[in-house]
Amino acid sequence: MAADRDDIAAELVREFDQIASKRGIWEKHWEETALKVLPYYSTSFYSQGNTVPGQKRNQEQYDVTANAALWKFAAAMESMLTPANGKWHRLRPVQKELMKIRRVALWFDQVNDALFHYRYSPHSAFQANQHDGYVSIGAFGTTALFCDEFNDPTQPGVKGLRYRHVHLGELFFATNFQGQVDKVFRRFKMTLRQIAQKWGEDKLPENLRGQLSQSPENEVFVLHIVKPNGEFDPMRLDAKGKRFSSHYVLKDMKKLLHAGGYRCFPYATSRYITAPGELYGRSPAMNVLPSIQVLNEEKKVILKQGHRAVDPVLLAHDDGILDGFSLKPGATNYGAVNGDGRPLVHTLPTGNMQIGKELMDDERAVINDAFLVTLFQILVETPQMTATEVLERAREKGALLSPTMGRFQSESIGPMIQREFDILMWQGLIPPPPPEVMEAGAAYKVEYDAPLNRAMRADEASGIMRTAQYAAEIVGQTQDPSAMDWFDWDTIIPELADISGAPFRFMRSPEAVAQIRQGRQSQQTTQEVTNALPGMAAMMKSAAPQGTAQTPGQPGAQ
């Protein structure tokens, strides 16, 4: 049995070495990019931690335009795709007709609420790790987020989710025939104490077990390998019944620490753009790396020339004139001018610094364009804009951003939500589905409702608003309200609510709306009758026959 485990570990390490050997040229490219854009990532791609923690690594960086643009890019990605102050996706049944059943619609709302509740819980660390992912994809074009069950021995009763951004230096992966990432090798360091905490002291080899008591913080390289399970059997309840196998291996000693599996792929991996035949992504920083390097050199030259301009080189005809020359403020230097008053000491010309600044501004514009900074500055909404103008601006933003940001949703966010749903369902943190959902196979789909997607759908809303505005103007000019009869408001209002991302529970059901209208109609009829009663009484009084004259001899006759 031990021999089989060793054989598995040796085979996995051999497979890792093959995948790692194909990444060398990428590591050189990433290192060059890191030095100019994200210095604290520098040297993290080679041997995983050969630098001293806290060491200054920005010695070669003279201009920080690209670094500042990168943080703005990451903030823009977060605000458009996963804003913490809103719900940026919804779960819906594959069969759209099921949403007409109110308890089904409410169940999907409850599931969506549960996903956001546990995703943003204090111990999940989603927001911080996802932001690191946006920084990575902006700088290096590739990112991965690991999603797993929350497991803390000190909090045995706490359930939920836990996230971890996988730094690019740790990440190695491969794709299937459809181009989807389905195999990940993660190379990282763990201390002996951490290994004993996670899997038990008995999982350590004998020589490391002896070090545990003396040097528990000693680090060793560990591999985590997740790939399709070649022995998958859906009828099994053990690791073979899971779609993906999982192995933790001590890399250098080729010893298997743990074997298990996952029902859903736990690594949500995404790339910004990919070139033909390439596995890893390319980033905005990599696309404009020449401009970043040129700007860095220009800044270096400008600093030198600026120093010369502020503290200039002095030129004198006679070597001896500067012997007693004082550069102190308010000093008097005798003999520094001739009899005609012309100075005998001159400054060395420093060139045209204005041209240098203009050249730098040109490169900065290119860099800001690559990181979408200029785009977001152009598409900012102003308080003076009308509702229709806001929708038009949102439509433009969606059209310009969807080609790049949309890929992140399909490659990373979609698999992540699938993994989250699976974990919470197995933990019993999601309410049981209604029978209608079970009869439909419990199939669901993800509808993205991030600001990016609402911006993309704003074209529909702006079309409705423009048409309604035109119709209102026609009514105002012709005083004929029949132009508004073309609008089916009972269809338009729910559609606008859907585009705007209003939760289903905030909207009344069609039956409730019909009941309100019926009550309003009854109240209106009653009010009309009440208002008509005084007039009806007056009519009845005026229509009543007048009394006849009394004849003599009758009582009361004169």
User: What gap in Å lies between CA 455 and CA 453, rounded to an integer?
Assistant: 5
Across residues 401-414, what is the average pLDDT? 85
User: What gap in Å lies between CA 262 and CA 277, rounded to an integer?
Assistant: 29
Residue at 485: amino acid letter: D
Phi and psi torsions of 224, nearest 5°: -115, 120
Least confident of 131-135, 369-373, 494-498: 494-498
Q: How do strand 181-191 and strand 171-175 relate by DSSP bridges?
A: antiparallel
Least confident of 119-128, 286-295, 358-367, 517-526: 517-526
- The answer to whether 371 and 72 have CB atoms below 8 angstroms apart is yes
User: What gap in Å lies between CA 461 and CA 145, rounded to an integer?
Assistant: 34
Per-residue confidence band for 558, with pLDDT thresholds at 50, 70 and 90: very low
**pLDDT value, residue 251:** 93
User: Does the pLDDT of residue 468 top 60, yes or no?
Assistant: yes
Give the DSSP letter of residue 282. B
- The answer to whether 392 and 462 have CB atoms below 8 angstroms apart is yes
Residues in a beta bridge with 316 = 345
Q: Give me 542's structure tokens.
A: 């005026």
User: What gap in Å lies between CA 274 and CA 175, rounded to an integer?
Assistant: 13
Residues in a beta bridge with 146 = 164, 267
Nearest to 126 by CA among 142, 136, 115: 115
Give the DSSP letter of residue 505. G
- The answer to whether 77 and 131 have CB atoms below 8 angstroms apart is no
pLDDT above 70 coverage of the chain, percent: 86
**pLDDT value, residue 526:** 76
Q: Give me 64's structure tokens.
A: 């920080």
Residue at 440: amino acid letter: A
List all residues 6 or more positions away from 172 whose beta carbon is below 8 Å from its beta carbon: 16, 19, 20, 23, 184, 185, 186, 187
Q: What are the distances in angstroms from CA 408 to CA 141, 314, 448?
A: 11, 58, 12
Q: Give me 342's structure tokens.
A: 């012309």
Alpha helices in 84-217 (DSSP H): 102-119, 126-140, 192-199, 206-212
Alpha helices in 172-226 (DSSP H): 192-199, 206-212
User: Does the pLDDT of residue 391 top 70, yes or no?
Assistant: no
Residue at 538: amino acid letter: A
Buried b (16+ CB within 10 A) or exposed e, 59-68: eebbbebbbe
Residue at 112: amino acid letter: N
User: What gap in Å lies between CA 478 and CA 469, rounded to an integer?
Assistant: 14
- The answer to whether 241 and 234 have CB atoms below 8 angstroms apart is yes
Alpha helices in 200-271 (DSSP H): 206-212
Least confident of 164-173, 186-195, 210-219: 210-219
Q: Using CB atoms within 10 Å of the CB of residue 532, give its burial: 0 to 12 exposed, 13 to 18 middle, 19+ buried.
A: exposed
Across residues 533-550, what is the average pLDDT? 60
Q: Which residue has the higher pLDDT, 131 or 97?
A: 131
Q: Give the tens place of pLDDT for each residue, 319-367.
A: 665 567 777 888 877 777 877 888 878 888 878 888 989 999 999 999 9
- The answer to whether 341 and 386 have CB atoms below 8 angstroms apart is no
Alpha helices in 371-445 (DSSP H): 373-378, 387-408, 414-426, 435-439
Residue 103 exposure: Cα atoms within 13 Å on the Cβ side: 8
User: What gap in Å lies between CA 171 and CA 175, rounded to an integer?
Assistant: 13
Q: What is the distance between the terminal CA atoms of the chain, rounded to a whole angstrom?
A: 136
Residue reference for tokens 């490219």: 29
